[in-house]
Amino acid sequence: MHSLARLSRFVGKTFAFWVLLFAVLAFFAPAQFKWIGAYIVPLLGIIMFGMGLTLSKEDFIEVAKRPMDVAIGVLGQFIIMPALAWILAKALQLPPEVAVGVILVGCCPGGTASNVMTFLARGDVALSVAITSVTTLLAPIVTPALIYLLASQWLEVSAAAMFWSIVQVVVFPIVLGLVVQTLLGTKVRSAVAVLPLVSVVAIVAIVAAVVAGNQARIATSGLMIFAVVVLHNGLGLLLGYWLGKLTGMPVSKRKALSIEVGMQNSGLGVALATAHFSPLAAVPSAIFSVWHNISGPLIATLYQRFRNEDGSTGAAPR
């Protein structure tokens, strides 16, 4: 188990490489990866179950200890990224399925990768985890409502059906993970050590499945979608930092807010697009998953140079 945990840490640190590698392989050999498409929802459920195993009562106590900071982060997450997605879709006159896909990923909650990037950036990790937890638990209500509000002008949106999908693939697995953690306690610690490996394999598989299933469409419109995703992610990171600055947050919290706003649960975006729209609508989420695992380490490295309120800079603490 020790060697498996070591492998898990290595794979977790090289996440971006594996996502990019298998996205490229799936593009050039789609027949080898298309079969994974039938397992996207179960794979996302596994990731969410792992998130449930890692949550603790301290994460929810953190929400109660500083509700204003968490509320600012949650509002930033559910206002900035959806608004940016809608503005980009309108301004660039994106095709309907692509527009819906961009809006969909913008309306998703934060992903657990943001917590890791906040740690590497020497940001406020406790705040990042609290915001991720709250936005994820609010997602069954807020995400379908936002998608209905912003995307129904392009394609028909069933908010009720999406609510049930999110409950199935996000809430149930997280609650199950919390229950297992509560019942087994310290016995799950060894399992938690290999969760990065499981999560990386699941996300890589989801991305590969979407790329393989949309190889022809990506070949013709992939560069346009990639440019939109890069712009969406970059503006989210920037506006998240500015939001922290405007609300008087210290630097460590600004870092957390920036990364939390800019990085999405793109796996959920893929699952919702595949279930409720079309394979093409899943492409922005898949490309977002590839890109934010590249931009995340880059922004974390940049933020290491920003002096925190305690005067610290440099690499993340060991």
* CATH number, residue 151: 1.20.1530.20
Residue 315 is predicted with a pLDDT of 42
- Tally of structural domains, the chain: 1
In a domain, 311, yes or no: no
Selection from 11-25, 43-57, 158-172, 230-244 with the highest mean pLDDT: 230-244
- How far is it, in rounded angstroms, from Cα 34 to Cα 140? 28
DSSP 3-state of 216: helix
Position 55 pLDDT exceeds 80: no
In a domain, 126, yes or no: yes
In a domain, 73, yes or no: yes
Residue 236 and residue 105 in contact, taking contact as beta carbons nearer than 8 Å: no
pTM of the model: 0.81
Residue 190 is predicted with a pLDDT of 65
Looking at every residue in the chain, the average pLDDT score rounds to 82
Residue 235 is predicted with a pLDDT of 94
- How far is it, in rounded angstroms, from Cα 247 to Cα 55? 27
Average pLDDT over residues 175-189: 75
Q: How far is CA 94 from CA 132, 182, 235, 266, 273, in A?
A: 29, 46, 18, 19, 16
- How far is it, in rounded angstroms, from Cα 227 to Cα 243? 24
State the pLDDT confidence band at 73, using cuts at 50, 70 and 90: very high
In a domain, 22, yes or no: no
- How far is it, in rounded angstroms, from Cα 103 to Cα 208? 21
Closest CA to 254 of 295, 64, 262: 262
In a domain, 206, yes or no: yes
Range of the domain at 228: 2-10+39-303
Position 250 pLDDT exceeds 50: yes
H helix intervals, the chain = 2-13, 15-28, 40-54, 57-65, 67-91, 96-106, 113-120, 125-151, 159-166, 172-184, 189-193, 195-213, 215-246, 251-262, 266-276, 283-303
State the pLDDT confidence band at 87, using cuts at 50, 70 and 90: very high
Position 74 pLDDT exceeds 90: yes
The single residue listed with the structure tokens 């931009």 is 295
- How far is it, in rounded angstroms, from Cα 147 to Cα 158? 9
DSSP for residue 277: S
Structure tokens at 255: 């870092």
Residue 311 is predicted with a pLDDT of 54
Residue 191 is predicted with a pLDDT of 66
In a domain, 286, yes or no: yes
Position 316 pLDDT exceeds 50: no
Average pLDDT over residues 163-183: 81
In a domain, 297, yes or no: yes
Residue 84 and residue 236 in contact, taking contact as beta carbons nearer than 8 Å: yes
Residue 264 pairs in a beta bridge with: 110
In a domain, 28, yes or no: no
Closest CA to 69 of 246, 303, 307, 244: 244
Count of beta carbons in the 10 Å neighbourhood of residue 153:
13
Question: Which distant-in-sequence residues (6+ apart) come within 8 Å of 6 by Cβ?
Answer: none
- How far is it, in rounded angstroms, from Cα 264 to Cα 213? 22
Position 84 pLDDT exceeds 60: yes
End-to-end CA distance of the chain: 22
Residue 110 pairs in a beta bridge with: 264
Helix 251-262 to helix 67-91 angle (10° resolution) is 40
DSSP 3-state of 112: coil
The single residue listed with the structure tokens 């500015």 is 242
State the pLDDT confidence band at 258, using cuts at 50, 70 and 90: very high
Q: How far is CA 137 from CA 92, 131, 188, in A?
A: 32, 10, 22
Range of weakest confidence among 34-38, 71-75, 138-142, 261-265: 34-38
